[in-house]
Structure 1
Amino acid sequence: MKSVGKKVVVFGSFVVDLTGRTRTLPVPGQTVMGSTFVMGPGGKGSNQAVAAHRAGADVTLVTKVGKDVFGKVATDFYEKEGMNTEYIFVDEEKETGCALITVEEGTAQNEIVVISGACGNITEEDIEKSRALIESSDILLLQLEINFDALYKVIDIAHAAGVTIVVNTAPAAELPAEILKKLDIVTPNETEAQILTGVKIENGDDAKKAAEVLMEKGVKQVVITLGSMGAFAMNNEKYELVERLSVDAIDTTGAGDAFNGGFVMALAEGKDLFTALRYGNVTGALSVTRKGTAPSMPDREAIDRFYAEVYG
């Protein structure tokens, strides 16, 4: 099912996920035996674009890969998904990024090391090639896995064009005040929100305090994913905490990316912040019931069915 909603551009990372599953996560200096290994497409930008695309949004991904076999993993996957590959730039020197992922089988918890590679080398030329795409979009979704000089330039372009800017502030990092003022929505998890605000989040009241700090810094609307505590959203009119949805989790890798993809799909269809929060919650919950990152992203039929079950 394809949306008739607004145009979404995701400008972000592609990396190849190298995922091993083990009985227990290793502690520093320890070697543990794994049970399975899978290689597949990943990266926060790519994962969120795939999630939004499968959810029905009109999505174009801008990313960068190397001239290597991992780069072909990207183009082969996007072509199979029916996604636009026009803005998959190729770096002549840098390798395609990769993520080293270990998943603990009993708990579905994970440890991840990301090497950005080519998507950490977005150039002025790459940005200019995608300028018209960015300026003509309705919603721009970003993360913090590309080089920050490029990130800030893309935000400047979108802000000047009046595009709605959504930033998933992951991996955790501080952002300058002049950038935060240009953002329409930020979607940190509780750890990332603490880094941005200094507020340790242990409950809904703490999430509200963190959101207030972000809005004082100039962000217009705030969404905070809270793991087992659910997800929180706040704008100038109201705030709301929705509970975590109960599912049988197999692999939590990519759950935040799924949330963001479902969330922007709903925004692109004209749904309000709090309805979009619920769509993100549903999409994220469904993703953890399957192994992998991009391959685990649910389709629109599954999202709608589960949404009807839990929210009516």
Structure 2
Amino acid sequence: MTKREAEILKWIEENPLISQNELADKANITRSSVAVHISNLIKKGKIIGKGYILKPQKNIIVIGGANVDIAGIPKGILKEEDSNPGNIKYSLGGVGRNIAENLARLSQNVELITVLGNDPNGENIKNNCRDLNINLHNSLILPHANTSTYLFILDENKDMKVAISAMDIFNNLTVDFIKNKMDFINKASICILDTNPPQETIEYIANNCSIPLFVDCVSTNKAIKIKSILNKIHTLKPNKIEAEFLSGIKITDDDSLEKVSEYFINKGIKQIFISLGKDGVYYSNGSLKGKLNPYTTKVINSTGAGDAFMAGIAYGFINEENIIDSCKFGLKASAITLTSENTINENINLDILTNFKEDTK
């Protein structure tokens, strides 16, 4: 959906009886241009039927981490135990927040449930969410806490040399806190959960979630939190190492890859997407299964590609695509992210996603 289409749709939502002439005046364009935009919105399923009957908006809840990333990048060869000339790069991150931002840029209605400190970093995240129309009304803001921060130093090859993760604030996403949110959560269309909250909170959400639950493992160390609730998960997105850890099966070839996917399907998971890095993604829902190669594109930065993939498959699911097309949306979102220096490609939108063509040069 283009920016202009989103603007017109917003005006129609506010006043379903608004005329095309009134829309033209608001947008400062011709009535015939408005008619073209409305026709496109009908084709995209945002408006159904005549009289501007709007398709009900589907809500997505994302529960998980939001933090500030601070990177130190040396100008030359990194010298340990010494002061290095270089650059400091500041960006917003957190798996849950990244997924929410990608979905918001794909014109989805998103609510992020996280915990922030009442500090400048927390304000930056709140302002960013406000600008992107990501709802934070059910998040926890702690007055005397520091917002989660991830500090890392890269070497001359842009490989991470050392890092400090200050994420204890997520321990405040307790069962008691989330318990009061479950009625609200269960009114959404899907819930996406990363593994940053405490294990007991993750288990409580899984056991009380009545809508499809999508889970991002985040890391092998945090993936252990979901081992006892695999049967409660609708869609799981592990990488190869996380899939091996959770299943106890070593992936050495296509046969063992299929065996690992069957393990998760037999546990009750409805969809499994195993990220294989440069080798693409293996997907399965029990009946449809296979491997899709990544889209060819110029890689500038690989950070955030997995978060974009989760947003892509969630977009596919909520728009009633099959698992193969959902996987393709995930791979396209990842490829678009890889072309950006930042964790989130700020240019990603529905038009770019649906019309993405891989670089075949």
TM-score, scaled relative to structure 2: 0.76
What amino acid does structure 1 have at the position aligned with 2:178?
A: I
Q: Is the 8 A contact 1:94 1:117 kept in 2?
A: no
The number of equivalent residue pairs is: 304
Write out aligned runs for 1:1-312 (5 A): 1=1, 6-22=58-74, 33=84, 35-103=86-154, 110=160, 113-158=164-209, 161=210, 163-172=211-220, 173-175=223-225, 178-294=228-344, 296=346, 298-306=348-356
Do the aligned partners of residues 57 and 206 (structure 1) sit closer, same or farther apart at CA in structure 2, a change above 3 Å counting?
farther
Aligned equivalents of 2:291, 2:141: Cα separation in 1: 42
| Shift of residue 121, structure 1, vs aligned partner | 1.7
Secondary structure of 2:167's aligned partner: strand
What amino acid does structure 1 have at the position aligned with 2:69?
A: D
More strand by share: 1
Do the aligned partners of residues 214 and 105 (structure 1) sit closer, same or farther apart at CA in structure 2, a change above 3 Å counting?
farther
Q: Which moved more, 1:29-38 or 1:49-58?
A: 29-38
What amino acid does structure 2 have at the position aligned with 1:242?
A: L
Q: Is the 8 A contact 2:202 2:225 kept in 1?
A: no
Do the aligned partners of residues 25 and 253 (structure 1) sit closer, same or farther apart at CA in structure 2, a change above 3 Å counting?
farther
| Shift of residue 37, structure 1, vs aligned partner | 2.0
Secondary structure of 2:148's aligned partner: strand
Give ranges in structure 2 of 5+ residues lacking alignment: 7-45, 47-54
| Shift of residue 176, structure 1, vs aligned partner | 5.4
What amino acid does structure 2 have at the position aligned with 1:174?
A: I
| Shift of residue 200, structure 1, vs aligned partner | 3.0
Aligned equivalents of 1:113, 1:62: Cα separation in 2: 24
Aligned equivalents of 2:77, 2:94: Cα separation in 1: 21
Q: Is the 8 A contact 1:57 1:268 kept in 2?
A: no
What amino acid does structure 1 have at the position aligned with 2:344?
A: A
What amino acid does structure 2 have at the position aligned with 1:90?
A: I
Secondary structure of 1:271's aligned partner: coil
Q: Is the 8 A contact 1:56 1:265 kept in 2?
A: no
Aligned equivalents of 2:330, 2:156: Cα separation in 1: 25
Aligned equivalents of 1:297, 1:277: Cα separation in 2: 21
Aligned equivalents of 1:136, 1:109: Cα separation in 2: 42
Do the aligned partners of residues 278 and 33 (structure 1) sit closer, same or farther apart at CA in structure 2, a change above 3 Å counting?
farther
What amino acid does structure 1 have at the position aligned with 2:296?
A: S
Query: Any idea what the Cα deviations from partners look like across 1:219-262, whole Å, max 9, x if unmatched?
Result: 22211111110011001102110112221111111111111111
Q: Which moved more, 1:175-184 or 1:200-209?
A: 200-209
Aligned equivalents of 2:170, 2:266: Cα separation in 1: 32
Do the aligned partners of residues 231 and 176 (structure 1) sit closer, same or farther apart at CA in structure 2, a change above 3 Å counting?
closer
| Shift of residue 140, structure 1, vs aligned partner | 0.7
Aligned equivalents of 2:183, 2:138: Cα separation in 1: 12
Q: Which moved more, 1:247-256 or 1:297-306?
A: 297-306
Secondary structure of 1:294's aligned partner: coil
Query: Any idea what the Cα deviations from partners look like across 1:170-215, whole Å, max 9, x if unmatched?
Result: 1222245541111111100111111111233354433222211222
Q: Is the 8 A contact 2:239 2:276 kept in 1?
A: yes
Q: Is the 8 A contact 2:199 2:225 kept in 1?
A: no
Secondary structure of 1:61's aligned partner: strand
Aligned equivalents of 2:189, 2:63: Cα separation in 1: 13
Aligned equivalents of 2:150, 2:323: Cα separation in 1: 31
| Shift of residue 302, structure 1, vs aligned partner | 1.7
Higher RCO (CA < 8 A, seq sep 6+): 1
Q: Is the 8 A contact 1:258 1:297 kept in 2?
A: no
What amino acid does structure 1 have at the position aligned with 2:106?
A: A
The alignment yields a C-alpha RMSD, in angstroms, of 2.6
| Shift of residue 148, structure 1, vs aligned partner | 1.6
What amino acid does structure 1 have at the position aligned with 2:325?
A: T
Secondary structure of 2:336's aligned partner: helix
What amino acid does structure 1 have at the position aligned with 2:311?
A: G
